[in-house]
Amino acid sequence: MSLRRRRHALPGFGLTLGISLAYLGLIVLIPLAALALKSATIGPLAFWTAVTSPRALSAYRVTFGCAAIAGLINLVLGPLLAWVLVRYRFPGRKLIDALVDLPFALPTAVAGITLTALYASNGWLGRWIEAAGWKVAYTPTGITVALTFVSLPFLVRSVQPVLEQLEPDIEEAAATLGAGRLTTLVKVILPMLWPAILTGFALAFARAVGEYGSVIFIAGNLPMMSEIAPLLIVAKLDAYDYAGATAIAVVLLLASFVALFLINVLQLWTVRRRSAEARR
């Protein structure tokens, strides 16, 4: 008896793979290759000079430092918010769940203007914060606030599906065996969530490194103090220094790739360790 060939909704593997690779090449690979080739036109010495200038190094410190702090803040608050949305039922839960995606839907410039209006010296919150001796707007603190806002959904949406698949029976079984709430959280829940948390952190960090619209209004844009690397790229483009702008863009691109690579390696190691422990 001849075996019937399995039917698929989409065309065959060759055609779908070709379309996927062509789309990926046009949208991602060719622009990235053009970026690398343009930065290579200035030569190694000029490239090194452009990416290691004092102004560029200061922009890196502000960008990577604020992105890391924002990621760490969301590393705690994102899973906590996901836990509340999944495990509890309360009035307004669906509204809060929808508001999590607001940074995705809201134009970044609108977010930046709104945050500036809130945290400026005459803003609703800024006037009280500055009265307490702490300035937010036009400082790296304001940049961190903006990056925390735009990167929060990555942590929530990465952890939320995993939590929805975890049955409450696991927690009840741990409690039956004598584990307290903290022990259950550390020994049972977090090991299952770590891969998703790390993925969300990597995505949030990569997004924050390249964020522009929501930051420029609240940053103050003072060179050597509150200037972010994406703004420095725009400044070089305005000065027709295209090679220098692409050189700094390559640094940000490599930093994002390295962060994603390290997080994925750590995630893979975590999954393999859990699989090895499960087989024992």
Residue range 221-233: mean pLDDT, rounded:
88
Percent of the chain whose pLDDT exceeds 70? 94
222 and 200 in contact (C-beta within 8 Å)? no
Is 25 inside any structural domain? no
Is 121 inside any structural domain? yes
Is 28 inside any structural domain? no
DSSP three-state, residue 6:
coil
- Residue range 17-34, pLDDT digits in tens: 888 888 888 888 888 888
Is 233 inside any structural domain? yes
- Whole-model pTM: value is 0.83
Residue 65: predicted pLDDT = 94
Is 51 inside any structural domain? no
Residue 280: predicted pLDDT = 65
Is 35 inside any structural domain? no
Smallest CA-to-CA distance from 202 within 78, 108, 99, 96 is with 78
The CATH number of the domain where 235 resides is what? 1.10.3720.10
DSSP one-letter code for 52: T
The full DSSP string for 179-211 is: --HHHHIIIIIHHHHHHHHHHHHHHHHHHHHT-
Is 34 inside any structural domain? no
Give me the phi and psi of 52, to 5 degrees please.
-115, 15
Is 47 inside any structural domain? no
Q: Enumerate residues 6+ apart whose C-beta is below 8 A from 96.
A: 85
Question: How many domains, the chain?
Answer: 1
Smallest CA-to-CA distance from 144 within 34, 223, 75, 65 is with 65
Task: State the residue range of the domain holding 122.
Answer: 56-275
- Residue range 122-157, pLDDT digits in tens: 888 888 988 888 888 889 999 999 999 999 999 999
Residue 43: other Cβ atoms inside 10 A: 10
